[in-house]
Amino acid sequence: MVHQIQKIAWNYLHSWLRYIAHLLRFCVALAHSKRLKSVFFVGITGSAGKTTVKDLSASVLGSVGECYSTPRSQNYPDGIAKILLRVSPRHKYCVLEVSGGNPGDLDRPLRLFTPNIAVLTLVARDHFKAFKSLEAIAQEKGKLVSALPTDGIAVLNIDDPLVKAIGDSCNRKVIWVGKAEGATLRLLSVRSVWPEPLTLELEYDGDIYKVKTAFHGKHLALSVLSALGVGVAAGIPLTNAISAIADVKPAEGRMEIVSTEGGITFLRDDWKAPHWSFPAPLEFMAEAEARRKIIVIGTLSDYSLSASKLYPKVAKQALEVGDIVIFVGPHAPRAIKAKRTTDAQNLHAFSEIRDAAMFLNNLLQPGDLVLLKGSNKADHLVRLMYHTQRPVSCWATRCGIQDFCGDCSRLYKPMPSTAQSVTGENTAPEPYAAPLTGNSSDDKVVVGLGNPGPEYMNTPHNVGYRVLDRIAADANASWVSHPEGLVCELTITGKTVYLFKPAAKINRSGPPTRQYLDRINGTLANCLVVHDEMDLTLGQVKLKHSGGDAGHKGLKSIIAALGSYEVKRLRIGVRREDNSETAKASVLRPFSSPDEEALESGIDQAVGVLMREIENSDTSNV
């Protein structure tokens, strides 16, 4: 309790100190901005393409004068103050990328600088939960255009209705970019077929121009047009602006091409992955010319469907394009549901990125084109690429670091292997199987998790076995050995019930369980798993109808093998009062006599819950 109070107090103090630091920096930046009256400011916002526009615009403006621009993607509101402090009166131009993830986020930055040129790329569902509507998102981003002085110029996407409405009402000069008639820089055609780079043909002031870039993906044409629009707004001849962007490379993680020494090409689009952005790289992969096309998908965001419906839908779309599709992350098993309606054998899923890396390394061949599409903060998918060149050491999930892994000291720092089970057994990665689709309607299967062998009999990891042993003993029934494990057949209230103990260490329980259920034509609905649970106190019993593995590697193996989170499970608490040791040590340390008393009560309760579940089940549920 004392430790929790100390932690809360420290978090409060830390937040307060950060607030004070931001406030002081803002005040200093506000004073410094008074010295920057001669600097020509370009502000860039939008739901996508900001960083690419920023990099291209900086190259265009830098061709005629000293230009400072936002480093990488440091576009968060409080970061603008830090960036402005690096701008000097000697700079002729400053290009700032401005983001707004919450209502009011653009207010603070716009107190620090006044844009001479404002760029708004598009309005999409990024940060939709915070704003509740696309119109609210457009209103926030439109603040950048509203901040223009009377002689300011807006560079706007004519093809986005919400952006078009902002431009029509802004009372400022507008340079329209896009495909529609009326565009100042009108896109006539665009081509990007790998391995060829992105090439545009556009019309400006009655003349036709061809624009060659070092980018890939047709959707980046908007960013190219916007940057050229910045050049035109600044009075730079269009031909000069086109020359200035010719050799600009993509920003890291934004349709970035990386080729390895082994002849494998990675297309990194792994900075963020809102669902609405997925079709663009998918279209690029569909048109690409490559020996094999492999699509790796991590965590998606900003979607309206439930995750259980979204990921199978995305899987089907990816399978229409890719030769092999791999999902990585906590939602990966949901994607496997797509196998229910397709015969595809090239769909794989891994909840742990380390397992995906091992699988991918064995799969890749020279000539492969691999798309990495995910959210960097959630997935750090780039580790899959690094691991093909040199063994990666850090496989942490959700470390909270926003930056990419390449500059992180932990990437190759030796760390304890996360592949080692709590029993000391090294486990190979298990791709998620197709969901169980047996059609038996009556036979029930209760799977007890544990480790075979007398040395594990009295340990926490074996309480699943012990619950089943109790039921078998009460019924005076015997166990029969099968290739997949031990089976005890019972009849309870007229229903056939199979008690099953997998013939494998607990962390590899999934494959034999799946094999047994396939053999008897069992179903997910008629299966229940009994296992130990470190998050519950000793003897506590809880029934769950679905969910993740909560770090239990045996349950993880079961979920992977059955291809679904919809696995009913009965959890038996094994956390003892002297819970000061590691999970590995705790689950393998035999119970003491006092522990046994509490455990026996829990086993009695578990047996009662199981009996009620079996007796009350209809033809579709345990």
Query: Where are the domains positioned within the chain?
Result: 29-185+218-245, 256-407, 444-616
Of 418, 429, 422, which is closest to residue 574 (Cα–Cα)?
422
Q: Summarize pLDDT for 54-107 with one digit per residue, the tens.
A: 999 999 999 999 999 988 766 666 778 888 888 999 999 999 999 877 898 898
- Which segment of 252-266, 333-347, 561-575 scores lowest on mean pLDDT? 333-347
Give the CATH number of domain 444-616; options: 3.40.50.1470, 3.40.50.300, 1.10.2020.10, 3.30.70.3270. 3.40.50.1470
Is the torsion defined by CA of 277, 283, 288, 294 positive or negative? positive
- Residue 284 · residue 318 · CB < 8 Å: no
- Residue 193 · residue 214 · CB < 8 Å: no
Q: Both tokens of residue 20? A: 């004070």
CATH class entry, domain 29-185+218-245 = alpha beta
pTM across the whole model: 0.71
What secondary structure does DSSP assign to 98-150, as a single string? ---SSTTTTTTHHHH---SEEEE----STTHHHHSSHHHHHHHHHHHHHT--T
- Residue 77 · residue 109 · CB < 8 Å: yes
Out of 173-187, 346-360, 570-584, give the one with best mean pLDDT.
173-187
pLDDT score, position 128: 80
Residue 264 predicted with pLDDT over 50: yes
The alpha-helical segments, DSSP class H, found in 411-540 are 463-474, 510-519
The SS3 of residue 448 is strand
The H or E element containing residue 528 is: strand 527-537
pLDDT score, position 617: 66
Q: Both tokens of residue 292? A: 């094999």
pLDDT score, position 131: 87
d(CA 80, CA 60): 22
Q: Summarize pLDDT for 288-340 with one digit per residue, the tens.
A: 999 999 999 999 988 888 888 899 999 999 999 999 999 998 888 888 877 66
Q: How confident is the model at residue 434 (pLDDT cuts 50, 70, 90)?
A: low
Q: Provide the residue type at 196 as one letter.
A: E
Query: What is the set of active-site residues?
Result: 461
Greater pLDDT, 70 or 154 = 154
Do 29-185+218-245 and 444-616 have matching folds?
no
Kindly state the average pLDDT of the residues 393-407. Answer: 82
Question: What letter would DSSP give residue 247?
Answer: T
Summary mean pLDDT of the chain = 87
Residue 541 predicted with pLDDT over 80: yes
Kindly state the average pLDDT of the residues 453-470. Answer: 87
The alpha-helical segments, DSSP class H, found in 349-495 are 353-363, 376-379, 382-387, 463-474
pLDDT score, position 165: 96
Residues forming a β-bridge with 488 = 499
Distances 160 to 120, 167, 515 between C-alpha atoms, Å: 10, 11, 53
CA 213 to chain centre: 29
pLDDT score, position 574: 86
pLDDT score, position 413: 72
Residue 19 predicted with pLDDT over 80: no
Torsion angle (degrees, nearest 10) of CA 403, 409, 414, 417: -10
Q: Both tokens of residue 616? A: 């009350």
pLDDT score, position 263: 92
Domain 256-407 is of which CATH architecture?
A: Alpha-Beta Complex (3.90)
Q: How confident is the model at residue 427 (pLDDT cuts 50, 70, 90)?
A: very low
Residue 496 burial by Cβ neighbours in a 10 Å radius (0-12, 13-18, 19+): middle
